[in-house]
């Protein structure tokens, strides 16, 4: 059988291919994979998952590296990481200042957070209302303060407090472990109604899981208003200019306490992993995409909102 080629169709195919190539060039090759840092905290795991779900709907590849906070800051400065969604301030002020030349601060992505030491409510009812009350009950606490993973800025604050003998805690010990291990320990103590003091923060479903009380008096180490915190988005230096479309998404990206706590609860209960829980949240609350994707396009230069909605099956 002979095959006959029509020059007009060939020309049309060549033109279509050229258009596709030009559209793909809308996003530079080095911007087509977006690299995130994750310090191993459930809240940042969740915000990373929501952001990467959106980016994948836009046609981007994503990569998340598990890095302790100081290593994550270093990785931004060495262009090994593009985005860090977990710059808790003022808790990370020391790292922020040390590595300031290596990154850009894009925006606050979460307001109203808090981050300081807490105890179960029954411990506060027994008389432990502030940092200054801890030493009096040292035996009941076994002289332990439970922190999170080694290298975390909050742990450094706790250790500095112990080393300086503020509040009479010089014979106390900081117990460093993963977030989940710390919460498991707190859970064991709470079941026995034993005394325990630990690093706590909001948003986090621990606030729903435990009847806890944040301690006053730690302003010198965690800041005022119970360690009142704002969480910022950071990128490697110049990234939002180089990768302007992702930069627009990051400039739009804002979370809420209820949003994060709800999705984190799904993860910590074991009902879903972070990616599945984030996807489910976006499907159930698609209105958040309207603001996030304002002015954002796909890798191919198409409207971003329609593409992400399609990606989510909406």
pLDDT at 27: 77
Same fold, 30-113+229-311 and 115-227: yes
Q: List, in sequence order, every residue forming a beta bridge with 66; answer none if it has no partner.
A: 38
In CATH, 30-113+229-311 is 3.40.190.10: yes
pLDDT in tens, 120-161: 999 999 999 999 999 999 999 999 999 998 988 889 999 999
Q: Domain spans of the chain?
A: 30-113+229-311, 115-227
pTM flag (> 0.95) = no
Closest CA to 116 of 19, 42, 218, 246: 218
The CATH number given to 115-227 is 3.40.190.100
Give the Cα separation of 93 and 203 in Å (integer). 20
Tokens, residue 293: 């994707």
- Cα-only R_g, the chain: 24
pLDDT in tens, 73-105: 999 999 999 999 999 998 899 999 999 999 999
């Amino acid at each position: 059988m002979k095959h006959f080629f029509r020059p007009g169709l060939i020309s049309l195919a060549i033109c279509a291919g050229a258009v596709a190539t030009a559209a793909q060039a809308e996003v530079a090759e080095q911007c087509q994979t977006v690299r995130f840092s994750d310090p191993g905290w459930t809240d940042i795991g969740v915000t990373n998952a929501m952001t990467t779900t959106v980016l994948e709907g836009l046609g981007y590849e994503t990569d998340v590296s598990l890095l302790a906070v100081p290593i994550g800051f270093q990785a931004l400065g060495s262009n090994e990481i593009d985005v860090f969604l977990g710059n808790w301030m003022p808790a990370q002020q020391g790292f922020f200042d040390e590595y300031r030349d290596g990154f850009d601060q894009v925006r606050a992505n979460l307001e109203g957070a808090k981050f300081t030491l807490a105890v179960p409510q029954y411990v506060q009812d027994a008389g432990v209302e502030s940092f200054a009350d801890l030493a009096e009950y040292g035996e009941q606490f076994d002289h332990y303060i439970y922190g999170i993973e080694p290298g975390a800025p909050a742990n450094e604050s706790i250790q500095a407090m112990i080393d300086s003998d503020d509040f009479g805690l010089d014979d106390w010990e900081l117990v460093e472990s993963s977030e989940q291990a710390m919460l498991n320990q707190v859970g064991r103590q709470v079941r026995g109604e034993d005394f325990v003091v630990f690093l706590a923060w909001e948003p986090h479903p621990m606030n729903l899981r435990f009847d806890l009380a944040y301690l006053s008096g730690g302003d010198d180490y965690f800041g005022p208003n119970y360690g009142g915190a704002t969480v910022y988005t950071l990128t490697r230096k110049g990234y939002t200019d180089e990768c302007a479309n992702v930069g627009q998404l990051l400039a739009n990206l804002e979370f809420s306490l209820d949003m994060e706590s709800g999705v984190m609860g799904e993860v910590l209960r074991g009902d879903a992993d972070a990616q599945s829980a984030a996807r489910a949240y976006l499907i159930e609350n698609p209105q958040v995409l309207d603001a996030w994707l304002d002015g954002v396009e796909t890798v191919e230069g198409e409207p971003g909102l329609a593409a992400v909605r399609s990606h989510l099956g909406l």
